Structure 1
């Protein structure tokens, strides 16, 4: 088949394949099976397409064909392609057959795929049901992906389309998964807004310490391409991420592969307690740091590590005990164990290049005004001139929570010695009323993003929407960054013309008297007492 397939067509076909599981298996679980099959099907279609081309070119020269195929982006050993599995779709042990094929596929591509399929069990009775039901569902899944609409040969569909289908499916799963979606998904328009605000450039190292399924990193790569002057610049960047959930990390890696971002370094582990992106014993530094970390994560660090009322060790002259954090991320103070928001923010700021790094974080509004240790950390960051902008977003943007969130932009070029050291204000933008109501949740439109980014870049007052605020004013407000303190969105009520209202009342009373007189006349005609 050489007919091109549209993005909408392939999205619809892939989503229809989910009918096998929908209503029977939780969306947070069946996403792994669908996305893995999409990945294997795409690799198999590319493999078959290239094999056919070499066969046509070299005829029966099997050795030459074999050498060419070994140089493919992913090597498919015999028996591991989607089509090998489809031929065995009626086997009584089809779940086990798929598991073995994925293990062989991973082993043959160890450098790229090590651990990607580790947590995906197609023979799971717990997730997929008893043997008879499991076999039926897997047979249906293989048949759904074998339909012509999901032929993903390069002659029909390019890599970008497949990558966007992958993200489309993740967004659909997030909608079905509800609160569990926060583990792996950031809505597309929020991701686009964040990367437009931090504006990564060619040559940048870009990092997400809580990368989920890597949608923010994908959008960051697109922003680099938008800023590029030539094709070489479009590929001149590096992506780094860390994800605590090994299954979600696998989704991230497949997502990046399907977008052609093969060289991204996505590590597995707890960023706050065991950061993986290091240079020697110190944190690696990045030009751009972005994240949508879990909101107000509890018990992020062991309380037993902390000493003293203000969480400092008296034996170190008030300094942070290095046993708590050997990477010196919490020198401004240790965030409370009950909320990790400032733990992530502190990690992100200290992971950015001194004097130039830019940071964008999606966070609950509590980070703007909560007191205690968080208030002290926030005050230090304001006094260090690190905070560049605070943007309030509408409620109901996430499938995982209905609360309104904010974006906070930090810029280390503002700190002492940086190119923007003279910057003395913080840009506040209240975009909480800018949204399009959707069926399940509110949506940001491109026009909303354009308005926010334009206000941020111009840094001029916009009535009831945006205002650059001097740091001295913020200090007078006790270093509270709550947006309504600085952007007055109150709209005065229209003035009432009392005289006009009085005339209207008199006229209504006249009409009422006339109506009563007519009614009395009708009653008298009917011989009724009035």
Structure 2
């Protein structure tokens, strides 16, 4: 296969997924995902660099100093010994793990503004891959997998940058679905993130934040919407992620998607929010989106009373359920005029009482809650429970809350359910119209919600009861008599046949 042969997204995805075979059976998927994703990153930057180098070489021929100058203008720098191809050439000699680690740190140092600390949690020279001989063999196989022609990721061959970003997303999604909850914690299904982004309707020039950003896909969906509609990259993405290796994925993901105008911090959003303004207050955003961990037990209850950002002034969430901690953090970071947010929550958030009931009441009385959307079950990896989407706004059109029951619109898969484009569009159209729809949506007044003790359980507002058709007893009796007569006729016929055959 020559370097100019075009390749489809599916072929790249399949080749990357088969590279995981090197680890299967020897290393847990929650561990090897970091190695495969990091190798994909290294291979891609090496191919881009090689492509551009050869392009300049064609242009400037025997002027190495000119080529060097041109390469300084690239989006990133690849030090000579850090290339995938150097590592691949040395794959049969001992020390693969150490060489790969050194290459990654050299890349980080050469691009410190974009990749600071990204590889600190990823150790190819780790005992997790077995003792020295086994580790060296596994890594040799991995280098060979990525050297296959199908994974030639040069821009001159794959065309758009998103091909690699999409392969990255594909891998993350597959790790989430095959390793259950452990990998699924940081992955929002693409249709759900698409729905959230479209509900938020991001505009050019806006600042968008995800305080539990995982691998960054939800943030990037919002950015992509702006680019698709306006062609502009004039927006900024902000995120924070508590798990170090997942934070590193988000940084690499942003880098691969060409999202240079971003700031993604590593740390616990509730205990230690890092997205602050120059006065050390919480930074405000036009859009805040998140799929926080469901009902997190140890979320930081012990420090909530003394929170210096006053995020819990409407009430302190229960010690063992952190859902409202994330909701209240997000509310606090919405810009006063344009601020809007969409958050995925388990259904308990809509009706649980005590502290959560008091917080819910405050949010409704302050007229912040805009839409409550019930989603189908089995949409999210690692949990079959249905979730809901809450949309809150600083500047609402009215004082009502729109309830949408979208729980019955989906395509059923073997282990997973999916939202189709029609399902998404129906939610979006209903949200835009902001009117009741039979058995699907209801616009509730503050008085009605208060009457329900601020319980937001969707069936209290959207009546999905299907009346059974009344039974016509006379018609049933008539049908029974007809069947009885038919049976008698068949019995007589059967007797005649038996007689004919000599049976009395």
TM-score of Structure 1 vs Structure 2, range by shorter chain: over 0.9
2:219 is matched with which residue: 214, 217, 235? 217
SS of the residue corresponding to residue 413 of structure 1 reads coil
SS of the residue corresponding to residue 333 of structure 1 reads coil
Counterpart of 2:440 in structure 1 is: 465
Contact 1:182 1:294 (8 Å CA) reproduced: no
Is 1:390 equivalent to 2:372 in the alignment?
Answer: yes
Counterpart of 2:190 in structure 1 is: 188
SS of the residue corresponding to residue 447 of structure 2 reads helix
Structure 1 position 378, deviation (Å): 0.4
2:323 is matched with which residue: 341, 355, 373? 341
Call closer, same or farther: CA 1:497–1:18 in 2, change over 3 Å.
same
Contact 2:186 2:214 (8 Å CA) reproduced: yes
1:272 is matched with which residue: 270, 273, 285? 270
Contact 1:397 1:443 (8 Å CA) reproduced: yes
Counterpart of 1:153 in structure 2 is: 154
Counterpart of 1:125 in structure 2 is: 127
Counterpart of 1:365 in structure 2 is: 347
Counterpart of 1:238 in structure 2 is: 236
Deviations, residues 142-170 of structure 1 (Å, cap 9, x unaligned): 11111111111111122111111111111
The CA distance in 2 between the partners of 1:484 and 1:474, in whole Å, is 13
Alignment of 1:321-470 (within 5 A): 321=305, 324-414=306-396, 420=397, 423-470=398-445
Structure 1 position 527, deviation (Å): 8.9
Counterpart of 2:478 in structure 1 is: 503
The CA distance in 2 between the partners of 1:355 and 1:276, in whole Å, is 23
The CA distance in 2 between the partners of 1:331 and 1:182, in whole Å, is 32
In the alignment, structure 1 segments of 5+ residues that lack a partner are: 307-320, 415-419
Deviations, residues 214-265 of structure 1 (Å, cap 9, x unaligned): 010110101222342xx3xx21101000000010000001111111102210
Counterpart of 1:479 in structure 2 is: 454
Structure 1 position 526, deviation (Å): 8.5
SS of the residue corresponding to residue 283 of structure 1 reads coil
What is the number of equivalent residue pairs in this alignment?
500
Contact 2:301 2:318 (8 Å CA) reproduced: no
Structure 1 position 513, deviation (Å): 3.6
Contact 2:51 2:154 (8 Å CA) reproduced: yes
Counterpart of 1:312 in structure 2 is: none
Call closer, same or farther: CA 1:23–1:455 in 2, change over 3 Å.
farther
The CA distance in 1 between the partners of 2:482 and 2:491, in whole Å, is 14
| TM-score (normalizing by structure 1) | 0.91
The CA distance in 1 between the partners of 2:167 and 2:187, in whole Å, is 14
SS of the residue corresponding to residue 155 of structure 1 reads helix
| TM-score (normalizing by structure 2) | 0.95
Contact 1:466 1:487 (8 Å CA) reproduced: yes
Counterpart of 1:73 in structure 2 is: 75
The CA distance in 1 between the partners of 2:414 and 2:143, in whole Å, is 32
Structure 1 position 524, deviation (Å): 7.7
Structure 1 residues 17-26 or 456-465, which shifts more? 17-26
The CA distance in 1 between the partners of 2:29 and 2:210, in whole Å, is 25
In the alignment, structure 2 segments of 5+ residues that lack a partner are: none
SS of the residue corresponding to residue 414 of structure 2 reads coil
